[in-house]
A and B are shown apart, each in its own frame.
Chain A
């Protein structure tokens, strides 16, 4: 008897009713969290506005509404052939972001490549471990001068500085991910005579991918920070350059507009990253939810 009852399905109609009340409850929950999430930004905006009205702070804090207007005119104004984007977007935002992406891309290639080599080879790991720990513990902004000295002017010192700064989380996470794949899977690969290349592409890389993505997320946030730092000196464009310029010209509205654009940039890049990650790691989300 007990065996049959355990396999019994719940009756259909109460089940459906349960599902619909579940849906309305979830909707309510989403509405509540969205409402809660809006409170703090609204408070910040109010504080910002109050600050801009205040006697002393008002000298440095631009009016939020003027700031948003500046964001619109500088970054979003529709000129001809500008595809609805303003001069500042083309002259400063895009070149800087392009350098950050180049640096990030370089760091991913180098970090994942070296990480796999080290994660799979104990001797290489022992050889290079001291060097890696040394490299990681160097605060990279201190190296700005070195990179300008070695790579000259133009984009390359900035790109290489970004790559050098953000490679570490990717490298360490890749090493970690590769060693987390497990002996059983590698043994299965050996028994089924999977060649080295297929093992790398179809077992090691996907197996390490969850950790690699975690490292890339950290690296992405870091790349924006280093992007700004690299543009603060010896620069002709970029948001960092724009920050310095507006500060020197006592253009605080412009300065605050850049900050707003930076915040939006961070959010947008995070959203894009999350979309890519969800696609690539769909299996991982499913597999971990299953085992909870």
Chain B
């Protein structure tokens, strides 16, 4: 099935309108306008230090833009919006080592009744394939499994928008491929809106319905590329698809043109 991506300009779930952020005289991002459509996977890709994390902090309401605005489901983002969950890059720092897996996942759900909370935790843990590991501590697990816990924690809150900040930057290539497929499977099942930030070109094209390419700082949107590769995708078929190679080449050229030696996208 080929995705038709003509809807980008309608019914956008998350809209960035001319977002700029400067720290003193230092301009991190400059007038970023982008739209993240509902129920799709969007990926922001850019060279290191291009302000991707700044942008995610602004989107998640943890930071405010110097100029411009962020709108989520039609209302401006001032604090952390309802229905937003996040997976951080460094699982070892974002998970709580004094809590077992189940408690880590349950912790953001403290406002729910115990029965409902337990149900949500189980559902999320099952979804990431960690059933039976509930009683382990995060540090008893491999990096890939820890990042699964972080994903489960985000899913347990039943988010409408899932933000992921370089989620697989700290795991090995094989684990990374598995986690990419896990994300796509979960997204297809739940239909949630996903926004991933990465510096890995391969990953951006493989995951995305559309890729937002950022330039070097002060960053602007170099181009938004629709990825019309069929789903479900897999690492062999999709990545050898001439269309994949073509889009990857295009993104690579854009990032090279951004004036920095960019990741060539190979593992």
Please list the residues of chain A having a beta carbon within 8 angstroms of any beta carbon in chain B: 182, 184-185, 187-188, 190-194, 198, 202-203, 206-207, 209, 283-284, 286-287, 290-291
Beyond the given A187-B94, A290-B140, please list 20 additional residue pairs across the A-B interface where CB-CB is below 8 A: A182-B93, A184-B93, A185-B96, A187-B88, A190-B80, A191-B80, A192-B85, A193-B108, A194-B107, A194-B108, A198-B107, A198-B110, A202-B107, A207-B98, A284-B97, A286-B137, A286-B139, A286-B140, A287-B139, A291-B139
For A203, list chain B residues within 8 Å (CB). 96
- Please tell me if the beta carbons of B107 and A192 are within 8 angstroms of each other in the complex: yes
Closest B residue, CB atoms, query A194: B108
In the complex, the 5 A-B pairs of residues with the closest C-beta atoms, listed nearest first? A192-B108, A184-B93, A287-B139, A206-B98, A188-B94
Q: Which of A193, A203, A206, A284 counts the most chain B CB atoms within 10 A?
A: A193
For B97, list chain A residues within 8 Å (CB). 283-284, 287
- 10 residue pairs from A and B, CB less than 8 Å apart: A184-B90, A184-B94, A185-B94, A192-B157, A194-B110, A198-B110, A207-B98, A283-B137, A287-B97, A290-B140
A-B contact count (CB 8 A): 58
Q: For the complex, is B70 an interface residue (Cβ under 8 Å from A)?
A: no
Q: For the complex, is B84 an interface residue (Cβ under 8 Å from A)?
A: yes
B75 to chain A, nearest CB (A): 17
A142 to chain B, nearest CB (A): 40
For A284, list chain B residues within 8 Å (CB). 97-98
Interface size of B as a range: 20 to 34
- Given known pairs A283-B97, A287-B139, the reply for A191 and B84 (CB within 8 Å) is yes
- Please tell me if the beta carbons of B96 and A193 are within 8 angstroms of each other in the complex: no
- Given known pairs A188-B88, A192-B107, the reply for A287 and B157 (CB within 8 Å) is no
For A190, list chain B residues within 8 Å (CB). 62, 80
Closest B residue, CB atoms, query A192: B108
B61 to chain A, nearest CB (A): 8
For B98, list chain A residues within 8 Å (CB). 206-207, 209, 283-284
For A192, list chain B residues within 8 Å (CB). 85, 107-108, 153, 157
Partner of B80, one of A193, A198, A287, A290: A193
Please list the residues of chain B having a beta carbon within 8 angstroms of any beta carbon in chain A: 60, 62, 80, 84-86, 88, 90, 93-94, 96-99, 107-108, 110, 137, 139-140, 153, 157
Partner of A185, one of B93, B108, B153: B93
Chain B interface, DSSP helix/strand/loop, else mixed = loop
For A209, list chain B residues within 8 Å (CB). 98
C-alpha spacing A207/B96, complex, angstroms: 8
Q: Which of B84, B88, B96 counts the most chain A CB atoms within 10 A?
A: B96
Closest B residue, CB atoms, query A289: B139
For B107, list chain A residues within 8 Å (CB). 192, 194, 198, 202
- Please tell me if the beta carbons of A290 and B62 are within 8 angstroms of each other in the complex: no
For B62, list chain A residues within 8 Å (CB). 187, 190-191
C-alpha spacing A182/B96, complex, angstroms: 11
A277 to chain B, nearest CB (A): 14
Closest B residue, CB atoms, query A203: B96
- Please tell me if the beta carbons of A191 and B110 are within 8 angstroms of each other in the complex: no
Closest B residue, CB atoms, query A193: B80
For B86, list chain A residues within 8 Å (CB). 188, 191
Closest A residue, CB atoms, query B141: A290
Closest A residue, CB atoms, query B94: A188
C-alpha spacing A22/B86, complex, angstroms: 46
For A193, list chain B residues within 8 Å (CB). 80, 108
For A194, list chain B residues within 8 Å (CB). 107-108, 110
For A184, list chain B residues within 8 Å (CB). 88, 90, 93-94
B192 to chain A, nearest CB (A): 16
C-alpha spacing A127/B107, complex, angstroms: 34
C-alpha spacing A264/B36, complex, angstroms: 68
C-alpha spacing A287/B62, complex, angstroms: 29
Q: Which of B90, B93, B157 counts the most chain A CB atoms within 10 A?
A: B93
B97 to chain A, nearest CB (A): 5
